[in-house]
Structure 1
Amino acid sequence: MTRDAARLRARGSTSSGGFLRLVTHTDPVALVGITLSITLSIALDLSNAASGVESLLAGLMGITISLLVDSLARAERRFHLRTLLEGPPWLAQTTTELAGAIRDATEQHAGTRVAVEAQRRYEQFRLEAEQLAYGRIVRRGDEDEDLAGATRTCLHRLDGLTNVMPRVSGELSWWRSEIGRRYWEANVEALQRGVQVTRVFVYANLTEELSALVEKQRAAGARVGLLPLGVVSPQLHVNLTLWDLSSCWEARMTAHGEIGENQFSVNRTDVARLTRVFDLCASAATFQD
């Protein structure tokens, strides 16, 4: 291949890439409109329904209208994007940086695991952002920052529901874990601030260990109730915490009875649902008043 032929091929390749990029970033309505306009112009000319000049003018008019519609659509999208970015100062900067990083990862490393992972992480981020928009924070089961953090900032009332079911590792393993200890320490601090703490234990067997835990929490000032398994519907067997009737926490359990995921929420629907669950269990529980 001669040098001139190589140059022509490279130029053709560049032009082809530029055309494909233009088509990709052009609104579909504009592409359809331009195509129909050119087709109409050719049809008018070939059928002698209009003179050559009239056919050309008809085609140009259609193309102009299509480009105008495309321009309006682009302006609307830019306005919508600016509206979305009106908020905290960091939002506009980080959004453009995020979009640029994802684009670079998918374009520069196309066809590799990097591009696939970039798309997966972006999709995961989108799903998490949607949950945040609904007022929810979803975390792994071993993360307790919402559970302990909300307890430390609770002002008046804390309601909790704990389901104690037989497990291979013991019925009260969670309360003995590092997360459980930190949570109870936050409970004690809340009680010392004057927060009213009410907790219901739903149990299958009233073991000595459970009785000792109940007495320990009662001695600290918490109002603790006991609810035998089978008194309420299985649908109410939920591990939850409510703070000031304005926020809530719910544990999502695995098949082995372990917390696989936990959700903190200020969504009114979530708070109302868990408040109803707690009230039903508390009304059926036995308290030592």
Structure 2
Amino acid sequence: MAGDVLRRRPRGRAGSAGGLARLLAHTDPVALIGIALSVSLSVTLDLTNAATGVESLLAGLMGITISLLVDSLARAERRFHLRTLLEGPPWLVQAVPSLVTAAREAVEAHPGSRVAEEARRRFERFRAETEQLRAGRIIRPGEDYEDLFAGLRGCVRSMDAVTHVVPRPRGELSWWRGDVGRGYWAANLRALERGVRITRVFVHAGISDELSELVETQRRAGVRVGLLRWGAVRPDLHVNLALWDATSAWEPTMSAHGEISLNQFSVNAGDLERLRGAFAACAREATYR
């Protein structure tokens, strides 16, 4: 029995120390400073005989009380702020606590390890991606064309597009001949059947037989096709793009070989204004068949 008591005592002291550490960690710094100053004031008044023992004690207690009141107000403000942050769709409110808890426990269970570092990196990546969503943008890898197809499916009035025909390792029109390009052209045909007006400007360095055949195929299907020689507009206007009903847009990031490395879907007002300007400049200079 005595052995059990002896074994429990260290755990009790450790628990008290841990509880004190957690208390200090969650106490507002202003309150901690106020408590320290209050204790110092009480001791100073007592040692210098500037006040009686009772008066110095009361002064210290008053300062501590005010400091704790400040801490209580700060805690209440934090709780109110957290409740405000968690207002929103049910899926968000339900997911955030478990998400934060899982990340915190990963860091606490494996401190200093690759797991803890990866948890931090993933949260940073999640924060950056969420900031893009906040700005009205969805960014996906180059092989993911989900938003390009979704934007065209949701289009009801018009689609304006600029497509650059550039040399590629697999051929300048390899994208259109591939699975994605063929599926995208099929989606164009369905949009035309719905009554969507499609205008596409091909920017080229020279008209090949292959390009002429593609242009003629799209023209016969009902697409208004324009041809624009490379260099006819400013370099900053040379962007691939698709605008749907002037309310959403797609813009890829291209590699040095003309391959798509990133897909960006946007409803951001600044992006839409920039892309509408780029399309208008290309459309003015293009020749139509």
TM-score interval, smaller chain: over 0.9
Give, in angstroms, the shift of residue 179 of structure 1: 2.2
Please name the residue that 1:126 is paired with: 127
Please name the residue that 1:171 is paired with: 172
Please name the residue that 2:195 is paired with: 194
Quote the Cα distance in structure 1 between the aligned partners of 2:142 and 2:76.
45
Which deviates further from its counterpart, 139-148 or 33-42? 33-42
Paired letter, 2:130? A
Per-residue CA deviation, residues 223-261 of structure 1 (Å, 9 max, x unaligned), is 111111111111111111111000111111223322111
Aligned residues: 287
Does the 8 A contact of 1:166 with 1:204 survive in 2?
A: no
Paired letter, 1:39? S
Quote the Cα distance in structure 1 between the aligned partners of 2:107 and 2:134.
27
Paired letter, 2:78? R
Give, in angstroms, the shift of residue 6 of structure 1: 5.5
SS in 1 for 2:207: coil
Matches within 5 A, 1:1-289: 7-288=8-289
Does the 8 A contact of 1:203 with 1:228 survive in 2?
A: yes
Q: CA RMSD in A?
A: 1.8
Quote the Cα distance in structure 2 between the aligned partners of 1:176 and 1:53.
92
Paired letter, 2:37? L
Paired letter, 1:34? I
TM-score, normalization by structure 2? 0.93
Quote the Cα distance in structure 2 between the aligned partners of 1:21 and 1:12.
14
Question: Against the structure 1 CA distance between its residues 222 and 62, is the aligned structure 2 distance closer, same or farther, given a 3 Å change threshold?
Answer: same
**What percentage of residue pairs aligned between the two structures are identical?**
61
Question: Against the structure 1 CA distance between its residues 73 and 191, is the aligned structure 2 distance closer, same or farther, given a 3 Å change threshold?
Answer: same
Does the 8 A contact of 2:168 with 2:259 survive in 1?
A: no
Give, in angstroms, the shift of residue 9 of structure 1: 3.6
Which deviates further from its counterpart, 207-216 or 4-13? 4-13
Could you list the runs of 5+ residues in structure 2 that have no partner in the other structure? none
Paired letter, 1:252? T
Quote the Cα distance in structure 2 between the aligned partners of 1:24 and 1:59.
23
Quote the Cα distance in structure 1 between the aligned partners of 2:272 and 2:211.
28
Does the 8 A contact of 2:169 with 2:257 survive in 1?
A: no
Does the 8 A contact of 1:201 with 1:225 survive in 2?
A: yes
Question: Against the structure 1 CA distance between its residues 232 and 32, is the aligned structure 2 distance closer, same or farther, given a 3 Å change threshold?
Answer: same
Quote the Cα distance in structure 1 between the aligned partners of 2:182 and 2:49.
89
Quote the Cα distance in structure 2 between the aligned partners of 1:36 and 1:170.
76
Paired letter, 1:48? N
